[in-house]
Amino acid sequence: MSDISLAELNELLLECVGAPEEGMSLDGDDALDTPFLEFGYDSLALLQVTGVIERRHGIALNDDAVAEAVTPRLLLDLIKEAPRAGAAR
């Protein structure tokens, strides 16, 4: 299992796809349940970020599951439960 914080997810989104919509912030617990689309991040942006997460943390994420993770909380939960690459599934 791999834990990634909201702050780290925010940094990766900034690095990979840029800043959220003006006036939006991924800082704070209230951001956990805000849909990514409200931040201006679409499914392609999330796939780009999750590709980086997979490489850096050695985890495997299912693209369909990533597409269903429409909020930061859902994506972080998915990452937390993801099997490590090479681990028994």
Residues 6+ apart with CB under 8 A from 33: 71, 72, 73
87 inside domain: no
Residue 76 and residue 35 in contact, taking contact as beta carbons nearer than 8 Å: no
The residue range of the domain holding 26 is 6-81
Tokens of 73: 């909380």
Distance between CA atoms of 82 and 29, rounded to whole angstroms? 22
89 inside domain: no
Structural domains counted in the chain: 1
88 inside domain: no
18 inside domain: yes
1 inside domain: no
Tell me 82's DSSP state: P
Give the CATH number, domain containing residue 77. Answer: 1.10.1200.10
pLDDT, tens digit (0-9, with 9 covering 90-100), for 7-32? 999 999 999 999 999 988 888 888 99
Report yes or no on whether pTM surpasses 0.75: yes
